[in-house]
Amino acid sequence: MKQFVPSKEDVDCGDGLTTEKVDTAISSYNGYFDAKNDGKKKEERKHEAQKMVNHYYDLVTDFYEYGWGQSFHFAPRFNGESFTESIARHEYYLASRMGMRAGHLVLDVGCGVGGPQRNIVRFSGSKVVGLNNNEYQVKRATRLNSKAKLSHLTDVVKGDFMQMPFEAATFDHVYAIEATCHAPDRVGCFSEVFRVLKEGGIFACYEWGMTDNYDDSNAKHRSIKHGIEEGNSLPTLVPNKNIVDSVRKAGFEVLEWADMAEHLKNQGFDVGWHSTLKGGCHNLSAMRHSKGGRFLTHQMVTVFEFLRIAPKGTVATHNMLTKTADALADSGDLEIFTPMLFILARKPVSPKKTN
C-alpha cells in the first residue's frame, strides 16, 4: 500500500502541512461540533461556515486524494464495474443531462482539486471554470489541470459560492457535485447560481440529503446524521424535498429530481454507493476505502506522527474521517441518507417585450 506522506509537489502547491497549522486546524474544527449542545453549535456552524469548511479542507484534502482519488464524491456501481469507472460515469451522466458541448462556458461550484472538472472537460469539450474557496485546493487543482494539459479549457477561481465573483448571466450551464451541502443557506447559494447563469441555462447537481426513511425521533438515526455532519463539515443536513424546494425558491424551474442511489437500483446498479466504505478489497486501491484499509492507514499515520514524519494532528484528523466513514456506511445500510440527490433545473427565459 502506498505510504501516506505528502510529496514535495503536494506541499509546494499549498502553504505546507506544518505541525502548527494541522494541530491548530483540527482543534479549531472540532470546536464547531458538540453532540450534547448541537442546537447552539448548528447555528455557529451556519454563521461561520466559510471558516469551518476551510479548516476542514486544509486538513483532509491529502487524505481524500490518497484514499479516494481526485474526484471527491460517491457513485453506485453495477457488478463488474470498478470504483474509478463508476465515479467517471457518474460525472459523465451529469454532463450529458445538461447538454454540455464544445463552445459552452460552464461553472463547477465547489470544484475540489478538479477531478470532475478534468473528466467533464475531456468528455464534453466545454470550457469549465472551477470555483473553490479553499486556497490549498485551488492551487492543487490549477497544478493538476496544467499537468493534464487542460489549462486552455479550465480555470480555477478562489471565491465564496454565497457571493460568486462573476458577472450576472456569465455561464451557459452550472453544476455542483456534492458541494452545495456546505452552504449555510441553500436558497442563498442557489440564488447565486441563478444570477450567474444565462437565461435558458441548465443547473444540475448531486446533493447530500436525508431520505424519507430518516426518523429524527430515532436516537441512532440522529447519531449517524451528526456523525456525517461532523466528519464532512456540514452546517446541517435536511430532507431531500427541502433541497428541491430551495432550488425552486431561488427562481429555477425544476425539470426533474431523484435520489439516484434508489433510482439506479432499478437499472441493475446493485452495489451501493457506501459499499466501498465497508469492504470490497478486491485490489489495493479499493482496500484504502475499506474498514480494514482505514485501520492499516491509522496504524501507519500513528507511527508517522510519533516519528514526526507527519505533523501533529494527523492522527486526530484520520480518526475524524474514520468515524464519519462508519457513519456514512451505516446511513447507507439504513437508507436514511443519500449523497446523490440529483436535481436538473432551468433558468427561465424572460418573456420578450412587445411594443
CATH number for the domain spanning 255: value is 3.40.50.150
Residue 322 sits at φ, ψ, to 5 deg, of -65, -45
Asked if residue 29 is part of any domain, the answer here is no
> Rounded mean pLDDT of 56-62?
67
Asked if residue 53 is part of any domain, the answer here is no
Burial class (CB in 10 A: 0-12, 13-18, 19+), 99: middle
Render pLDDT for 6-48 as a digit per residue (tens, 0 to 9): 333 433 444 444 444 555 554 555 555 555 555 554 555 444 4
Asked if residue 189 is part of any domain, the answer here is yes
Structural domain harbouring 191: 101-218+239-260+338-346
Asked if residue 186 is part of any domain, the answer here is yes
Please state, rounded to an integer, the average pLDDT across all residues of the chain: 83
Asked if residue 327 is part of any domain, the answer here is no
**What's the pLDDT at 235?**
87
> Rounded mean pLDDT of 177-203?
97
Residue that wins the pLDDT comparison between 132 and 282: 132
Looking at 6-82, list the stretches that DSSP marks H as alpha helix, in order from N- to C-terminal side: 8-12, 19-30, 38-47, 49-68
Indicate the number of domains in the chain.
1
Among the listed ranges 39-53, 81-95, 257-271, 287-301, which one has the minimum average pLDDT value?
A: 39-53
Nearest to 171 by CA among 205, 131, 199: 199
Separation of first and last alpha carbons in the chain: 71
CA distance 90 to 86: 6
Asked if residue 109 is part of any domain, the answer here is yes
Cα angle at 285 between 283 and 286, to 5 degrees?
Answer: 70
**What's the pLDDT at 266?**
86
CA distance 76 to 266: 12
Could you tell me which residues are beta bridge partners of residue 161? none
Asked if residue 95 is part of any domain, the answer here is no
Sole residue written with cell 440529483: 342
pLDDT at 165 over 90: yes
Render pLDDT for 247-278 as a digit per residue (tens, 0 to 9): 999 999 999 999 999 999 889 999 999 988 87
Amino acid at 159: G
Asked if residue 274 is part of any domain, the answer here is no
pLDDT at 172 over 80: yes
Supply the DSSP string of 123-170, one letter for each residue.
HH--EEEEEES-HHHHHHHHHHHHHTT-GGGEEEEE-BTTB-SS-TT-
How would residue 57 be classed by pLDDT, with cut points 50, 70 and 90?
low
**What's the pLDDT at 27?**
52
Among the listed ranges 215-224, 237-246, 316-325, 329-338, which one has the minimum average pLDDT value?
A: 316-325
